[in-house]
Amino acid sequence: MSSSGSSSGAELAAGVGAGAGDSDGGGDSDGAGGGGREPDDRRLGPSARRVAELSPVLIATAMVVSTLGYLQKVPCRAVGFDYARTVQRACYTDIYPLYFARGLADGKVPYLDEVPEPVEYPVLTGWFMQAISSVVRWALPTGAVQTRGMAFYDLTVVVLGLLAVVAVLATAYAAGGRDTRKAGLMCALAPGLLLAAYINWDLLAVALSALAVAAWARRRPALAGVLLGLAVSAKFYPLVFLWPLLLLCVRAGQWRALGRLFAGTAGAWLIVNLPVMLIAWEGWVRFYSFNAERSVDWGSIFFIGAQQGLTWIDDVDTLNRVGQLLFALLALAIGVVALTARRRPRLPQLLFLVAAAFMLTNKVWSPQYVLWLLPLIVLARPRLPGYLVWQAGEVIYFFGIWWYLLNVQTEGADGIGSGTYYVAMLARFLTVTLMAVLVLIDIYRPDRDVVRRDGPDEDIDDPAGGVLDGAEDRLRFRLVRHARPAAA
């Protein structure tokens, strides 16, 4: 539903064996630049050798699931993505219809050319759409417009499938040597990936975000910042990842790494966005104005309230303020957790919590947003029971939304009614909330965290934490101070 480089992946997945001397931000032992002790060799991050060994399995698995995702959309492709039949068959995609609706079929360039309904995505996603459209027009210069539309869809699916492979490898890399296979397979085999991979262009931002986490795990904060800046240029949600990184770097005193991360993020974002801002401001700002003016949408918990007669939700300005306030409160709560937990939380734990907070309080929650959470949950809590419950909630919602839209389309003659749809919505809302609670329990009970299984021969802290892994705390608050016993 419409919402709001390979070379880097190869480097991270296959060639990462360098020590701390190759780091951009590695914790200085003298405390001048980063604070904390220099972790030893066993804490230098995920094992590139382990990723290389498992790459054939992970790549093959991700490609099979990506192919199945394409086959899941074939019944809709066969009928030209007719809307009524796409929702009936639960194989809807934005990719084909937006090729026509956003002017790409007419040769219009996103942001630069005027069209009745401009592209409503950040710049990198718009350029991604334009690049594939240009290839199609070059390959089929005399093809019928419907033929070019199908070619645009097919080629987009191929590229998004490759990005899914990149996201899987990057996630496996960030998980570290011991959990590489488990994390990679949990990511690659997710039903949510199969069902939602080709609804929209979200996999571009998901892959870039996963690469950013992998680069951070390798102790390359500048590179991580560049990748994160590109991810934010593709979708807005990765911007919230800066908050956990800020919190954990402040707690560990990793100021140099934090500075390089922020510089890389800002630099990459400006390189992508500034030219369009200067040349075509109206086109560039469309994403922000569209989302500011957008009313409550399907999937959001606010949608139930609006349907039940809470009229204040119909006022977009009020809805925006309430959503922003709720997210700010949850973000502050995450800050309290980050700075007060007895043991510093792992980076993926906080990345998941802030992403979940962003979704739970949003006025839009499209079915493909499951892709945003997938690498984060796999890294934050690689335990099958909770993961399977969450995936079940996402699958229930996936079919629920399409069959509810079918009900709307047919004016109640087919599909599911509002009550059943609300159950599907709550299934997703509550399973994501459940995962957040379980992650919080792991944070405050680190002995329950399967990633931190301390033993006589290993002391695992935060495999994806990069310069944070094994670093000493420089700042920590205690919510409760126990009184000292009085002197005898």
Distance (Å, rounded) from C-alpha 197 to C-alpha 204?
10
Cα–Cα nearest to 209, from 230, 186, 183: 230
Are the beta carbons of 349 and 486 closer than 8 angstroms? no
Kindly state the tokens that stand for 328: 């700010």
Kindly state the tokens that stand for 16: 């990462």
Distance (Å, rounded) from C-alpha 369 to C-alpha 371?
5
- Helix axis angle, 145-175 to 370-380, nearest 10°: 10
Distance (Å, rounded) from C-alpha 373 to C-alpha 427?
16
Tens of each residue's pLDDT in the chain, 488 residues: 654 433 334 344 333 333 333 454 444 333 333 444 444 444 444 457 778 888 999 999 999 999 999 999 999 999 999 999 999 999 999 999 999 999 999 999 999 999 999 999 999 999 999 999 999 999 999 999 999 999 999 999 999 999 999 999 999 999 986 788 999 999 999 999 999 999 999 999 999 999 999 999 999 999 999 999 999 999 999 999 999 999 999 999 999 999 999 999 999 999 999 999 999 999 999 999 999 999 999 999 999 999 999 999 999 999 999 999 999 999 999 999 999 999 999 999 999 999 999 999 999 999 999 999 999 999 999 999 999 999 999 999 999 999 999 999 999 999 999 999 999 999 999 999 999 999 999 999 999 999 987 544 457 899 999 999 999 988 877 765 544 555 44
Distance (Å, rounded) from C-alpha 366 to C-alpha 398?
9
Q: At residue 147, what is the residue type?
A: T
pLDDT (0 to 100) of residue 179 = 80
Residues 6+ apart with CB under 8 A from 329: none
Cα dihedral value 212, 214, 219, 223, nearest 10: -30
DSSP state of 467: G
Alpha helices for 241-368 (secondary structure H): 242-252, 255-279, 281-293, 301-307, 316-340, 347-360
pLDDT (0 to 100) of residue 479 = 65
Kindly state the tokens that stand for 383: 């335990």
Kindly state the tokens that stand for 441: 């329990």
- DSSP secondary structure string, 411-462? TTSSS--HHHHHHHHHHHHHHHHHHHHHHHHHHH-GGG-GGG--BTTB----
Alpha helices for 32-143 (secondary structure H): 48-77, 83-88, 95-101, 123-139
Distance (Å, rounded) from C-alpha 443 to C-alpha 445?
5
Residues 6+ apart with CB under 8 A from 63: 161, 165
Cα–Cα nearest to 326, from 301, 351, 362: 362
258: buried, middle or exposed (CB in 10 Å: 19+, 13-18, 0-12)?
A: buried
Residue 267's Cα: distance from chain center in Å?
Answer: 21
How many residues in total does the chain contain?
Answer: 488
Digit-coded pLDDT (tens) for 208-245: 999 999 999 999 999 999 999 999 999 999 999 999 99
